[in-house]
Every structure is written in structure tokens, then in C-alpha cells.
Amino acid sequence: ALKTGALIRASVMMGAACAPDLEPHRERALTGFAAPIGLAFQIQDDLLDELGDTATLGKAAQSDRQRGKSTYPAILGIAASQERVRRLSEQALESLAPFGAAAEPLRAVAEWLLARRN
């Protein structure tokens, strides 16, 4: 399931909903950020489960595989999943262009996503 990605998308879009004067093109830009960054987070989580260690993750490593879960690494492989995270993150960052420097906090989230280890 892609619950974590959906929660990330919902969080971004709730922020948009709190800005009643948000221009439609900026709302579309936030959607363009939220959808790929949510999916990238989920794929990165799958990768960390597959490649990480229990001490770093704070949970049992390879637990998805042991439970027979369908994950991106299981279906696409490690390298293709890593590439997908990279491309989705780039897509998300490009979507923030209409906001200029005001989107730095969202850019920081995307950068953290690529660097996180747990």
C-alpha cells in the first residue's frame, strides 16, 4: 500500500487549502510537488527496508521481503528503484519553480528524502 505517500500528499495539499488566495497555477504546482515526492518517499522507504540494517532503521531490516510484500525493489530491482526516486524528486523540485525562494522548506524536505537513512 502507498499509505505513507498519500499522507505526504495530503499534508502538502492541506497546507495549500489553508491559503485561500492561492492562485490556481500555484495549487497545481503544489500538486506537482506532492504526488511525486510522496511516491519517492514510499520507494525510498522500500529501499531502506531492503538495504538498511536493523540498528539504523530502528525496525527489523528486510521485513517487507520476509512478509512477501510487493515493493518497488522487489518488482523493479534496487538500481531501477533508486533511479525512480531520483527522477521523482527532480520532478517534484521542478514543480516548485513558481514559488521561488518561498518554497525552500519544501525543497529541503525533498533533499532530506534523498539523504535519509531511516
CA distance 40 to 84: 7
CA distance 59 to 104: 31
What integer pLDDT is reported at residue 109 of this predicted model?
Answer: 86
Read off the pLDDT of each residue in 22-46 and give the average, rounded to a whole number. Answer: 92
State pLDDT tens for residues 44-76.
988 998 887 766 666 766 777 777 788 899 999
> Closest Cα partner for 99 from 10, 40, 46, 23?
23
Domain that holds residue 18: 3-115
27-36, 54-63, 69-78, 105-114: which is most confident:
27-36
Record the pTM: 0.84
**CATH number of the CATH domain containing 11:** 1.10.600.10
CA distance 48 to 57: 8
What integer pLDDT is reported at residue 49 of this predicted model?
Answer: 86
CA distance 33 to 9: 8
How many domains are contained in the chain?
1
